[in-house]
A = this chain, B = another copy of it.
Amino acid sequence: MTTANPNTAPTVISNDPWFDSYAHRAESMRASEIRALFAVASRPEVVSLAGGMPYLGRMPFAELSEQLARMLREQGEVAWQYGSAQGDPHLREDVLPIMALEGITDAQPDDVVITNGSQSGLDLITRIMCDPGDVILAEAPNYVGALGVFQSFQVDVVNVTMDADGLIPEAFEEAVQAQRRAGKHVKMLYTVPNFHNPAGVTMSVERRPRILEIARRLHVLIVEDNPYGLLGFDGRTYPALRSMDAQNVVYLSSFSKIIAPGMRVAWMVAPPGIRQKLVLANESAILCPSNMSQMTVTTYLDHFDWQARIEDYRSMYRERRDAMDSALHEYLPTCSWNKPKGGFYTWLKIPKGLDAKAMLPRAITAKVAYVSGTAFYNDGQGADHMRLSFCYPTPERIREGVRRLAGVIDRELDTVSLFDTDEGMDAQQEEQR
Between A81, A83, A152, A221, the greatest number of chain B beta carbons within 10 A of the residue's beta carbon is seen for A81
- Among A70-78, A104-112, A377-385, the one that faces the other chain is A70-78
Chain B residues near A56 (CB-CB < 8 A): 76-77, 80-81
Tell me which residues from 128 to 153 in chain A have a Cβ below 8 Å from any Cβ of chain B.
128-131, 134, 145, 148-149, 151-152
Within 8 A of B (CB), among A48-70: 51, 53-54, 56-57, 59, 61-62, 64-66, 68-70
A351 CB to closest chain B CB, in angstroms? 32
A429 CB, nearest partner CB in chain B, Å: 44
Q: How far is the CA of A18 from the CA of B264 in the complex (A)?
A: 29
A232 at the interface (CB under 8 A from B): no
- A116 contacts chain B at the CB level, 8 A cutoff: yes
Q: Contact partner of A284 among B53, B148, B288, CB < 8 A? A: B148
Query: A1-42 CB contact bits vs B (8 Å, 1 = yes)?
Result: 000000000010100111101111110011110010000000
Q: Which residues of B contact A70 (CB under 8 A)?
A: 65
Beta-carbon contact of A13 and B273 below 8 Å:
yes
Judge whether A287 and B145 touch: CB under 8 Å: yes
A394 within 8 A of B: no
Nearest CB in chain B: distance from A65 CB, A: 4
Q: Are A290 and B272 in contact (CB under 8 A)?
A: no
Name A256-282 residues within 8 Å CB distance of B: 256, 259-264, 271-274, 276-277, 280-281
A57 contacts which chain B residues (CB < 8 A)?
77
B32 touches A61 (CB 8 A): no
Q: Which residues of B contact A32 (CB under 8 A)?
A: 283
Query: A72-B65, A128-B29, A273-B13 known; A284 and B23 CB under 8 Å?
Result: no
Q: Which residues of B contact A247 (CB under 8 A)?
A: 17
* Interface residues of A, Cβ cutoff 8 Å to B: 11, 13, 16-19, 21-26, 29-32, 35, 51, 53-54, 56-57, 59, 61-62, 64-66, 68-70, 72-73, 76-83, 85, 116-117, 119-120, 123, 127-131, 134, 145, 148-149, 151-152, 187, 219, 221, 247, 256, 259-264, 271-274, 276-277, 280-281, 283-293, 296
